[in-house]
A and B are shown apart, each in its own frame.
Chain A
Amino acid sequence: MATLWSETNPYLGAPKGDTDFARITDNVARVAEAAKPPMGWYIAFAIALTMLTGFGASLAWVSWTGIGAWGNMHPVAWGFPIVNFVFWVGIGHAGTLISAILFLLRQTWRTAINRFAEAMTIFAVICAGVFPGVHIGRPWMPYYMFPIPNQMNMWPQFRSPLEWDIFAVGTYFTISLLFWFMGMIPDFATLRDRATTTPRRLIYGIVAMGWRGSSRQWHRYERAYLLLAALATPLVLSVHSVVSFDFATSQAPGWHTTIFPPYFVAGAIFGGFAMVVTLAVPARQFFGLKRLIEIRHLELMNKVILATGMMVGYAYGMEFFIAWYSGNPYEVFVFVNRAFGPYAWAYWTMIACNVLIPQLHWFQKVRTNVWCTLAIGVVINVGMWFERFVIICTSMSRDFMPANWGYFVPSTIDYLTLGGSFGLFFTLFLLFCRFLPMVAIAEVKGAHRDAHANHGGHGGHDHSHAPETA
């Protein structure tokens, strides 16, 4: 693969500079500085933009005609839009987990992927954030959900978990954005300093916010980073817990379950990591970042995936057990119906993707193989989407009173919206790859062995670093 793009890809040449630090800087910065990205980027961007257009078109159509353009029906009042919402919120988990929790746990391997994952988080939460706004019947008035003082004396109803969502997702997005942006400030300064044209200097200069790299600045930066990490850590747990409350606090069989908050969080980390590897593998391949995002990093992520996948599998099993143990006939029915009813295909897709296939990661050969990593990452993403589909659609399609039962069939517009949301995600992600430092230059350096040259043999920081050229 290394030669695939070599003729057109300026990144695949030998990096300039002699020292490792310089190589790191050059490796990352030249991606953002190149006059022209590789052809692959254009192709990918064209595809993503087309999908984004589909997203815009589908949402415009839905706003114009009514959300009946989707397949949502009675009793499945929440169809694809909410499935997509929960899916994207879940994806948005890995970023903050990697940046905040792993940071606090001093897992320095995270530096190779944290920027990446944070960006992914931001974009995933943007994708997620679109859905609650557009899925409502009157998409021109989602602001009714915000506590805005108004002449009508209307106020949100704070007992509603949807209202909690607004705050949970809003807070999460704000903190993630700040965290991401703040982490990029030293790198923006690097780009500014390396800039060869005035517009680049200006733009990177503005976003670098006057960074000079003084000790004082570094000191404050690291304090602030630590504080934000501490602030973000509970959010990783809270946001998907709150999203799960939408279901857990309701009465519907299959939703009304206390296991949901931890189950959703585990699932979110699982899905989020799967998305990180899905993105990291091609990115390191195309942008020549193999020396920064190493196989070792992928393997570590695969281990996290394996662990969280087991938790998710446990949750699936426990749901069944508790349903049976509760003796509640409606609850029992929902689970039997999931596995053996009309939506069994979705259920078994979910089980295969989320529980069975990730077991391959027990084998080191599999988890250190980039293609297996990528393939399993994609499979898990599919599986996690189906998990939300199974939870939302199968539970609603057959609830308490049989007279209401129905079978949800998505419309073409549903697929267009779902695909389109990936378009939005990838468009943003490709723009990020093109214009922003994809790897946290300063942090990688901090974790690099050269940064610890004076601490020979101290710690266990990344001493096994070895260039890898597979």
Chain B
Amino acid sequence: MSSMNAKHPRPTYWRSLAELDQDPKFQQMLATEFPEPLDGREMAPGTPARRRFLQIMGASFALGGCRFQEDKLLPFSRRPEGVLPGEPRRFATAMELGGVATGLVVTSYDGRPVKVEGSPLHPTSGGGASSLHQALVLGLYDPDRSEGITRLQGQARVAALPAQFEEFVAAERPNWQSRGSSVRVLSSLSSSPSLAAMKQRFLTAFAGAKWIDYSAVETDNLEAGTTLCFGKPHQAVYQLENARIVLSVHSDVASSTDPAGIVAGRGLARGRVPEGQPMSRVYAVESSLSLIGGIADHRLSMSAGSAKAFLAALDAELSSKLGDAGKGAQPKPAAKFLAEPSIAKFIAALTQDLLANRGAAVLLVGSRLPPEVQALAQRLNVLLDGVGRTVTYHEVPVRERRKDALQALVQDIQAGRVETLLVLGENPVLTAPTDLGFAAALAKVKTSIALSEFEDETALLSSWHVPLAHPLEAWGDSLAHDGTITLAQPLIAPLFGGRSVLELLALLANDPKRDGLEIVRRTHAGSLPNQKAWDRAVHDGFISGTMAAPASVTVGVLPTFALAESELRNGEASNGKLEIVLAPDSKVYDGRFGNSSWLQELPEPLSKQTWGNAVWLSPGTGKALSIADGDLVKVSAAGKELTLPALHVPGQAEGSLRIALGYGRYAAGHVGGLASANVDPVGANAYVLSALGAPFLLSDASITRLDGRQAIASVQDLHAIDAVGQAGIDERRGLLLAEANLEEFQKEPDFAKHLVHHPPLESMWNDPVSYEGHKWGMAIDLNKCTGCSACITACQAENNIPVVGKDSVLMGREMLWLRVDRYFSGSPENPKLSFQPVPCQQCENAPCEQVCPVGATMHSHEGLNDMVYNRCIGTRYCSANCPYKVRRFNYLNFHLDKVEATPFQTVTNKKKLLMHMVFNPEVTVRARGVMEKCTFCVQRIQNVKIKAKNVKRSIADGEIKTACQQTCPASAITFGDLNDPTSLVAKDHALPRAYSILEELNNRPRVRYLARIRNPHPELG
């Protein structure tokens, strides 16, 4: 090592180890130091393997995971230069979901990544990250990940060594070369330039091979729609911050399933500031509640099937007013549809607003809707002068449509034309439409190679299963939403010897470059010619200036489409006429995150359901079909059936059902369901309803009640509540969650302060502290909050918050420190939705502090309610006396559970130790029997204070960011020093619409909320 140090006296952090693979000495050492345990199935991470784990981590430094210059395996006691043990280091990387990259920054302690955040440098993520991104790090340490290559021998799966696999590949390669047309690749839909290059190499090496871009969720419609409209497929990039009028038609914008959700959330929030600037007005038309439906000033519940008619009506209205009738404009849909006064009024107001705001209006259409609807929306965007202002387009490559590609693949297999099938990072056995018969087809293929992180449903049926490297273990690249080339670097060497898609393809195609890093560098050799440029790009996590150039578009003449009778009715709650919307889940996405306990336990933002899915139906439909909350029901469409519990969700369109995809897995793992270990699936698999022709939007469906009920683990009371409770909620909702219309707000800006009338507040106690130094406070803008719940996962990851499992959630024992309360107001058919994130309010006159008999919760000199875990004996009096009920109690030992109450009950304790790697070393891991709660991320405060003190400077405003604040795409949370009148938080606290909840109790909370202001159209009220 010293010689290495001598050679590279000043290692830079971002350097990599290009020559690693070619170093024979290192290869040899790897071979001797890590014989097959890295890949062999017998390796179990645990007490004996814990040491091994540390060795692997040690190796990670060498392997390029953490980019030290050294490339020898050495114990950490020989500290590399410039590295302080225990000092967190942050690295830029990226994650691709749905073909779109999000730039991330990962915090790593001693080579151990513990926290994923959005990269503040990255042009699209801008610091924000969704729950899915943040849960990546838990997935890295998932003990259920494949530990090595397996192959099918007869009916059994047996472990194979990497060398055996490589031998097999070497032996097969001539076959593939000579009979390339028998090779198929089913790859994840990706925008990765390196993958595109590798695809070309692969297709060149194996001439005649076919490549299928697969996605379990809908992606075709957007491209088909833009093709219809502009002649070529385009990606629309919305600038919602420039929009005064936003219309969302069945879109999931701002949700974690939206590839551009973070940008959209940020953009939307910027338009929702009622002070000083004109506030945007949001309209939403949708069959199910969505996040943007929650933001919307006007929301219309409408079945997805009627979306076409709605847009046609809008188009007809607008086109005639804009003098553009006839060029693809649609005839007014049948009078029957417009006869409904609520729809007619809605369209009239919307038309008026859109016309009055040309150049500042935008239409967003959900990907589930058919291409002609997409085309109509883009046509209107262009017509309303949105191009270059609220939306830009850039061209994307033409792709075969999923339906055609899949059908061709299965036909080829059935016809015996396919001998080798590669499945790269996808799980089509679970996610492909059932009428495709993919599983049966897969069994017919002679050689199938499934590259996946888990031995999942597809891997189990494939002749070879190769572990896929986790996104935090591999080099990669991908395009961000705006086209920026985003680089992903590994944070750690593959824990289980996984390979990235690029590396596997390189092996198969006999590419001279086998290392992920080299492959990615080769792709960008042109744009990053030298080491300096490369280092810069890796450091930043993206190649600057690669944003896609906006294309100029011309709208073609759209064909007039016919409207079927069924499309003209806004839903009908009768069996046989129902529609089913199958949507990717905001937590497990298409099912790939099914084994993430953080995500399984994250409350779904709208239904607040954890651990599973349910069929959403409107209370009216439920009543009409006599189905109550929690009833087990059988949903059927086109001869396919699914049994799952029903959930009444206000705002669901009549006659429309919604089921989240991605549940009901039997080979996910010990969290999500694992048949081989008798772990029941979480939720029900809605893919069984999906058909090739109508994968995500089914019509003519039925729902019948079965005997029996199934408890829905919701963290908030369901809609169906007794009359007394409902009256209580109605009475206090307006007191807890201040809301006003813009007009009212302008008349009385401080209305929120006068919601509750109370006598002057006096306290028995003197202030214990005068807050002379810092005085920490937080403000939460209810107007910006989209309810996306990314903050909850951020808090969980930052603060080592345990997962408790479904049974404990049903008992109300979830541990999440930050909850996002959701309230409905108005009618259940068309409710208004409000979110309120509630962390600890850090009261100055804290009721919890007064009642703790052992002084385990104390007031700090900076105004925090500090929890002293060691002192807490668990009387739970603080929780009883907390009016916000933000304190959470460890009823059981949730982190290392000896009584098997939490998930992972069948995972051995040895294996659980791997999960301990995810703990943030800055935060105490609480044992059972102690109370815990939000600390305002005191560890972050202290770290910044120490740093500032060391160099004798003061702390700048915004320097300390709590985890929730940091990740919030909408910047709804501000945090800082209230003693500094110029700080953002002090300014927010001083706003007229700032208020505290339950102020009349004289707790003097340090969290203030900024009241929710709605901006309704005067005529819709």
Contact code string B842-859 (vs A, CB < 8 Å = 1, else 0): 000001001111110000
Contact A157 B855, CB 8 Å, known A77-B879, A136-B874:
yes
Contact A156 B875, CB 8 Å, known A66-B929, A138-B930, A403-B821:
no
Q: Taking the complex as formed, is B722 at the interface, i.e. its CB lies under 8 A from any CB of chain A?
A: yes
Contact A67 B891, CB 8 Å, known A136-B929, A160-B877, A402-B729:
yes
Query: Are B732 and A66 neighbours in the complex by a CB distance under 8 Å?
Result: no
Across the interface, which residues of B come within 8 angstroms of A76, CB to CB? 812
* The residue from A65, A77, A141, A342 contacting B876, defined by CB atoms under 8 A apart: A77
CB of A325, distance to nearest CB on chain B (Å): 15
Across the interface, which residues of B come within 8 angstroms of A138, CB to CB? 872-874, 928-930
CB of A307, distance to nearest CB on chain B (Å): 32
Question: How many residue pairs bridge A and B at CB < 8 Å?
Answer: 178
Complex Cα spacing A142 to B728, Å = 38
Contact code string A112-131 (vs B, CB < 8 Å = 1, else 0): 00000000000000000000
Across the interface, which residues of A come within 8 angstroms of B850, CB to CB? 159-160
Across the interface, which residues of B come within 8 angstroms of A345, CB to CB? none
Across the interface, which residues of A come within 8 angstroms of B998, CB to CB? 400
Query: Are A401 and B821 neighbours in the complex by a CB distance under 8 Å?
Result: yes
Interface residues of B in 898-955 (CB under 8 A from A): 898-899, 901, 928-931
Query: Are A166 and B853 neighbours in the complex by a CB distance under 8 Å?
Result: yes
Complex Cα spacing A135 to B880, Å = 14
Task: Please name the residue on chain A nearest to B1001 by beta carbon.
Answer: A251
Q: Taking the complex as formed, is B634 at the interface, i.e. its CB lies under 8 A from any CB of chain A?
A: no
Query: Are A399 and B891 neighbours in the complex by a CB distance under 8 Å?
Result: no
Task: Please name the residue on chain B nearest to A144 by beta carbon.
Answer: B854
Complex Cα spacing A106 to B881, Å = 43
Q: Taking the complex as formed, is A107 at the interface, i.e. its CB lies under 8 A from any CB of chain B?
A: no
Q: Taking the complex as formed, is A250 at the interface, i.e. its CB lies under 8 A from any CB of chain B?
A: yes
Complex Cα spacing A137 to B811, Å = 17
Task: Please name the residue on chain B nearest to A61 by beta carbon.
Answer: B899
Interface residues of B in 987-1012 (CB under 8 A from A): 997-998, 1001
Query: Are A162 and B879 neighbours in the complex by a CB distance under 8 Å?
Result: no
Complex Cα spacing A396 to B733, Å = 18
Contact code string A321-349 (vs B, CB < 8 Å = 1, else 0): 00000000110010011001110000000
Query: Are B728 and A68 neighbours in the complex by a CB distance under 8 Å?
Result: no
Complex Cα spacing A342 to B887, Å = 24
Interface residues of B in 867-887 (CB under 8 A from A): 871-877, 879-881, 883-885
Complex Cα spacing A405 to B875, Å = 20
Query: Are A250 and B847 neighbours in the complex by a CB distance under 8 Å?
Result: yes
Query: Are B880 and A396 neighbours in the complex by a CB distance under 8 Å?
Result: yes
Query: Are A251 and B883 neighbours in the complex by a CB distance under 8 Å?
Result: yes
Contact A74 B879, CB 8 Å, known A145-B853, A160-B851:
yes
Across the interface, which residues of A come within 8 angstroms of B929, CB to CB? 66-67, 136-139
Task: Please name the residue on chain B nearest to A164 by beta carbon.
Answer: B853
Query: Are A401 and B884 neighbours in the complex by a CB distance under 8 Å?
Result: yes
* The residue from A337, A342, A399, A405 contacting B883, defined by CB atoms under 8 A apart: A399
Q: Taking the complex as formed, is B688 at the interface, i.e. its CB lies under 8 A from any CB of chain A?
A: no
Interface residues of A in 361-415 (CB under 8 A from B): 396, 398-406, 409
Complex Cα spacing A403 to B893, Å = 25
Complex Cα spacing A160 to B858, Å = 13
Across the interface, which residues of B come within 8 angstroms of A246, CB to CB? 877
Q: Could you tell me how many residues of chain A have their Cβ less than 8 Å away from some Cβ of chain B?
A: 57
Query: Are A156 and B855 neighbours in the complex by a CB distance under 8 Å?
Result: yes
- Taking each of B725, B892, B893, which has the highest tally of chain A beta carbons within 10 Å of its own beta carbon? B725
Contact A78 B876, CB 8 Å, known A66-B892, A337-B724:
yes
CB of A366, distance to nearest CB on chain B (Å): 36
Q: Taking the complex as formed, is B819 at the interface, i.e. its CB lies under 8 A from any CB of chain A?
A: yes
Q: Taking the complex as formed, is A308 at the interface, i.e. its CB lies under 8 A from any CB of chain B?
A: no
CB of A57, distance to nearest CB on chain B (Å): 15
* The residue from B724, B847, B873, B891 contacting A145, defined by CB atoms under 8 A apart: B873
Across the interface, which residues of B come within 8 angstroms of A78, CB to CB? 876, 880
Main secondary structure on A side of the interface with B = loop
Across the interface, which residues of B come within 8 angstroms of A249, CB to CB? 851
Query: Are B930 and A66 neighbours in the complex by a CB distance under 8 Å?
Result: no
Contact A155 B853, CB 8 Å, known A72-B891, A136-B875:
no
Complex Cα spacing A65 to B896, Å = 11
Main secondary structure on B side of the interface with A = loop
Complex Cα spacing A401 to B715, Å = 13
Q: Taking the complex as formed, is A313 at the interface, i.e. its CB lies under 8 A from any CB of chain B?
A: no
Complex Cα spacing A399 to B812, Å = 14
Complex Cα spacing A401 to B887, Å = 13
Query: Are A73 and B821 neighbours in the complex by a CB distance under 8 Å?
Result: no
Query: Are B889 and A403 neighbours in the complex by a CB distance under 8 Å?
Result: no
Query: Are B728 and A398 neighbours in the complex by a CB distance under 8 Å?
Result: yes
Query: Are A68 and B885 neighbours in the complex by a CB distance under 8 Å?
Result: no
Contact A329 B731, CB 8 Å, known A65-B899, A157-B855, A341-B722:
yes
Across the interface, which residues of A come within 8 angstroms of B853, CB to CB? 144-145, 156-157, 160, 162-163, 166
Across the interface, which residues of A come within 8 angstroms of B731, CB to CB? 329, 333
* The residue from A142, A161, A252 contacting B873, defined by CB atoms under 8 A apart: A142
Q: Taking the complex as formed, is B21 at the interface, i.e. its CB lies under 8 A from any CB of chain A?
A: no
Across the interface, which residues of A come within 8 angstroms of B852, CB to CB? 157, 160
Q: Taking the complex as formed, is A75 at the interface, i.e. its CB lies under 8 A from any CB of chain B?
A: yes
Complex Cα spacing A78 to B929, Å = 13
Across the interface, which residues of A come within 8 angstroms of B876, CB to CB? 72, 77-78, 136-137
* The residue from B871, B875, B883, B901 contacting A401, defined by CB atoms under 8 A apart: B883
Q: Taking the complex as formed, is B748 at the interface, i.e. its CB lies under 8 A from any CB of chain A?
A: no
Complex Cα spacing A437 to B777, Å = 66
* The residue from A68, A160, A329 contacting B813, defined by CB atoms under 8 A apart: A68
CB of A147, distance to nearest CB on chain B (Å): 11
Query: Are B736 and A401 neighbours in the complex by a CB distance under 8 Å?
Result: yes
Complex Cα spacing A160 to B733, Å = 31
Q: Taking the complex as formed, is B42 at the interface, i.e. its CB lies under 8 A from any CB of chain A?
A: no
Q: Taking the complex as formed, is B890 at the interface, i.e. its CB lies under 8 A from any CB of chain A?
A: yes
Q: Taking the complex as formed, is B808 at the interface, i.e. its CB lies under 8 A from any CB of chain A?
A: yes
Query: Are A403 and B819 neighbours in the complex by a CB distance under 8 Å?
Result: yes
Interface residues of A in 41-95 (CB under 8 A from B): 64-69, 71-78
Q: Taking the complex as formed, is A154 at the interface, i.e. its CB lies under 8 A from any CB of chain B?
A: yes
Query: Are B881 and A250 neighbours in the complex by a CB distance under 8 Å?
Result: yes
CB of B886, distance to nearest CB on chain A (Å): 9
Across the interface, which residues of B come within 8 angstroms of A403, CB to CB? 716-717, 819, 821-823, 836, 838
Q: Taking the complex as formed, is B888 at the interface, i.e. its CB lies under 8 A from any CB of chain A?
A: yes
Across the interface, which residues of A come within 8 angstroms of B814, CB to CB? 74
Interface residues of B in 793-849 (CB under 8 A from A): 808, 811-814, 819, 821-823, 836, 838, 847
Task: Please name the residue on chain B nearest to A406 by beta carbon.
Answer: B812
Complex Cα spacing A139 to B847, Å = 24
- Taking each of A72, A77, A333, A409, which has the highest tally of chain B beta carbons within 10 Å of its own beta carbon? A77
Complex Cα spacing A73 to B998, Å = 23
Across the interface, which residues of B come within 8 angstroms of A398, CB to CB? 725, 728
* The residue from A68, A163, A340, A406 contacting B892, defined by CB atoms under 8 A apart: A68
CB of A411, distance to nearest CB on chain B (Å): 9
Query: Are B899 and A137 neighbours in the complex by a CB distance under 8 Å?
Result: no
CB of B786, distance to nearest CB on chain A (Å): 17
Additional A-B contacts beyond A67-B891, A252-B881 (19; CB < 8 A): A73-B891, A74-B814, A136-B873, A136-B874, A137-B872, A137-B875, A137-B931, A138-B929, A139-B929, A156-B853, A157-B854, A333-B731, A336-B724, A337-B728, A398-B725, A400-B884, A401-B821, A403-B716, A409-B811
11 A–B contacts from the bound complex (CB under 8 Å): A67-B929, A74-B888, A76-B812, A137-B931, A157-B855, A162-B851, A162-B853, A400-B736, A400-B883, A401-B883, A402-B733
Interface residues of B (CB under 8 A from A): 716-717, 722, 724-725, 728-729, 731-733, 735-736, 765, 808, 811-814, 819, 821-823, 836, 838, 847, 850-855, 871-877, 879-881, 883-885, 888-893, 898-899, 901, 928-931, 997-998, 1001
Please list the 5 inter-chain residue pairs (A to B) with the smallest Cβ-Cβ separation, ordered nearest first: A137-B874, A137-B929, A68-B891, A403-B821, A77-B876
Interface residues of A (CB under 8 A from B): 64-69, 71-78, 135-139, 141-142, 144-145, 154-157, 159-163, 166, 246, 249-252, 329-330, 333, 336-337, 340-342, 396, 398-406, 409
